Amino acid sequence: MKVTYYPGCSLEGTAKDYAESIIGICSSLDIELEEVPDWNCCGATAAHSIDHRASIELAVRTLNLAAQMPYQDMLVPCPMCFNRLKTAAFVLEGDYKDRYDIKLEASLPKIWDLANFFATKEMLEVVAKHVQKPLVGLKVACYYGCMANRPPEITEATDFEDPQSMDRIIQNLGGTAVPWPYKTDCCGASQVLSRPDIVSKLVGKLYDMAQRVGAQAIVVSCQMCQANLDMYQGKIGAEWGRRFSLPVYYFSELIGIAIDVKGVKKWLSRHITDPFSLLRGLDLMNRR
């Protein structure tokens, strides 16, 4: 299977662990990722609040490049990028398209949030056939954040209040996705730079609830969410007067563990909160 692939900016830098895990599992599953040639930034996170026109036209340029590729599906791992690309397509296909200098190509591929793509019936079946190390005993809280599902008129999500894609992926791998009420609450995103006090409250609430429902770890599909939840557990725990030590895994890393892809330890070694002890305790990773 060949698909169009839009990595976005952060997977080229701070989220290399996410990028490498995606490349690793796709290679193992015979999914060929064809990167959009000469792609540009989609405008996340702040462009749309500073210059709405620029944010739409930035995203449309990349969509038009993708439209020239011969594949029906376009995978977008970053929920912020996914949201901006879907927004641009929504705007340029709507009543206000004449307000923009750029036009949208007619032959767009289907724009997929990566987790939703891997949660399709077809992909769940493909992954299930490759599972060598079922994630038995692993109990996780799947955290979706704000961007991949809302607003539903743009994202086309039907389960935007209670998304299920990562839950289905984890269960398909043999793990347990525990129900919890904060699946789509905000982590504060880039406010971690300007208002860390806000992020401390938002993220601390996520840690607290994940522990209360019995989760051993948190699973994400967004690199901004992963960074906010992974990097500051010691600091936020001190502010809350608590000890938080929850590994924060990308769903793609857990697929990699379950289907035994080489390179998993390298991906996980870039995490801040210890990702190894839990996995070793469940015999999902050797101790060397």
pLDDT value for 154: 96
Which residues of the chain form CATH 1.20.1050.140? 2-115
Which residues of the chain form CATH 3.40.50.11810? 134-281
Q: Which amino acid is residue 73, in one-letter code?
A: D
> Could you tell me the two tokens for 249?
């895994």
Scanning the structure block, which residue is given the tokens 């540009």?
Answer: 40
DSSP tag of 63? H
* Rounded-to-integer distance, Cα 266 and Cα 143, Å: 23
- Give the strand pairing for 139-142 and 110-113: unpaired
pTM exceeds 0.95 for this model: yes
pLDDT value for 191: 87
Pick the CATH number of 2-115 from 1.20.1050.140, 1.10.3720.10, 2.40.170.20, 3.30.420.40: 1.20.1050.140
Determine phi and psi for 32, rounding to 5 degrees. -95, 120
pLDDT value for 38: 97
- Give the strand pairing for 110-113 and 32-35: unpaired
Domain 134-281 has CATH 3.40.50.11810: yes
Q: Which residues of 57-77 are buried (b: 16+ CB within 10 A; e: fewer)?
A: bbbbbbbbbbbebebeebbbb
**Predicted confidence pLDDT, tens digits, the chain (288 residues):** 999 999 999 999 889 999 999 999 999 999 999 999 999 999 886 777 788 899 999 999 999 999 999 999 999 999 999 999 999 999 999 988 899 989 998 899 999 999 999 999 999 999 999 999 999 999 999 999 999 999 999 999 999 999 999 999 999 999 999 999 999 999 998 888 889 999 999 999 999 999 999 999 999 999 999 999 999 999 999 999 999 999 999 999 999 999 999 999 999 999 999 999 999 999 999 855
Q: Which amino acid is residue 41, in one-letter code?
A: C
Using an 8 Å Cβ cutoff, are 88 and 47 in contact? no
Residue 252 exposure: Cα atoms within 13 Å on the Cβ side: 28
The CA distances from residue 239 to 182, 192, 226, 234, in Å, are 20, 15, 20, 9
pLDDT value for 70: 97
Helices (H), the chain: 16-28, 47-50, 52-67, 79-92, 114-118, 121-130, 152-155, 165-172, 191-194, 196-212, 223-231, 233-240, 251-258, 264-268, 276-281
